[in-house]
Amino acid sequence: TEEMLRNTEKLVFAGQIAVGIAHEIRNPLTTVKGMLQLSGKGTHLRHYDLIMSELERMNLIVSEFLILGKPQVVQFREERCMPILEEVLNLFEIQAALSCITLNCTMNADHMIRCDRNQIKQVFMNILKNAVEALPFGGSVQIELDDEAGYQLIRFTDDGIGMTEEVLGRIGEPFHTTKADGNGLGMMIVKKIIEAHAGRLVITSRVNEGTTVDIYLPISKT
C-alpha cells in the first residue's frame, strides 16, 4: 500500500510537472507555427508540410496535458455503462472491420454508476484504441459487462501482441510507449479518470497471447 501511495504521488507529481512544461511550451510553439505559416505560405520552403504536421502533433500533446491539469467541467451523473460503451463501439466499428477485428460485447450486468459520461467515454476509447493497435493482423476484442462485490466491471480482452512484465509494470507512466507513433499518454489518462471515479484498474497480459483490462466502477447506492 505504501508502494502504491508512493507511485500515486509520483504520478501526480509527474503530471504537475508535465502540465507546467506544457504551459511553458505552448506560447513559443504557437509563435513558431504562426511565423512558419506566414513565411512558408507561397514560398517553396522545403519540408513545410512535414514541419507543420510535426508542430501540430506537438500542439496536440501539449493540449492533452493542459486538459489534464485543468479543472474540467466534470458532470457526475447517474448513468448506465452500456449506452456509453455502445457510443464508443459505434466509433470503432468501421475501423475494426477494416482491420479484420471482430468486436464482441456480452452484457451480464449493467448497473447505475455515478460518472462523468465524457470521461468514461475517453477511458473506453483509449483502451479500445490500444486493443486495436495490439492487433496489427486482426483478431478479436471481447467486451464483458458484469458485476462484482458492489462494482460494475467492464472487461476488455484482446488476443493481440500482449506485453512483457516490464511494459506492464510501467503502464500509465507518462510518455512510456513501445509504439513508433505512440505518445504514452492514453493509459495515464485512463488511470487518472478511474481514480477520480473511486474505481480500480487491473491489467493482465501475456506476450503473444493478449491483454485483459478490467475496470471496476462503484455501483450507485441510490
By CB under 6 A, tell whether 101 contacts ligand ADP: no
Tell me the C-alpha to C-alpha distance, in Å, between residue 174 and each of 133, 186, 200: 18, 9, 19
d(CA 102, CA 100): 7
In whole angstroms, the minimum distance from the beta carbon of 177 to Mg ion comes to 8
Point out the residue whose Cβ comes nearest to Mg ion. Answer: 186
Tell me the C-alpha to C-alpha distance, in Å, between residue 117 and each of 88, 90, 175: 11, 16, 26
d(CA 54, CA 76): 36
By CB under 6 A, tell whether 177 contacts ligand ADP: yes
By CB under 6 A, tell whether 134 contacts ligand ADP: yes
Residue 132: contacted member of ligand ADP, Mg ion, none (CB under 5 to 8 Å, by partner type): none
Residue 178: contacted member of Mg ion, ligand ADP, none (CB under 5 to 8 Å, by partner type): ligand ADP
Nearer to ligand ADP, 116 or 158 (CB): 158
In whole angstroms, the minimum distance from the beta carbon of 98 to ligand ADP comes to 18
By CB under 6 A, tell whether 160 contacts ligand ADP: yes
CB-based contacts of 77, cutoff 8 Å, min separation 6: 114, 115, 116, 117
Site for Mg ion in 165-194 (CB under 5 A): 186
Query: Radius of gyration (Cα) for the chain, nearest Å?
Result: 19
In whole angstroms, the minimum distance from the beta carbon of 71 to ligand ADP comes to 23
CB-based contacts of 170, cutoff 8 Å, min separation 6: 176
CA dihedral for 62, 63, 64, 69, sign (positive or negative): positive
Site for Mg ion in 83-142 (CB under 5 A): 130
Taking CB under 6 A as the criterion, the residue among 184, 195, 218, 219 binding ligand ADP is: 184
Contact yes or no for 218/151 (Cβ under 8 A): yes
Contact set with ligand ADP (CB under 6 A): 126, 130-131, 134, 158, 160-163, 167, 171, 176-179, 182-188, 211
Contact set with Mg ion (CB under 5 A): 130, 186
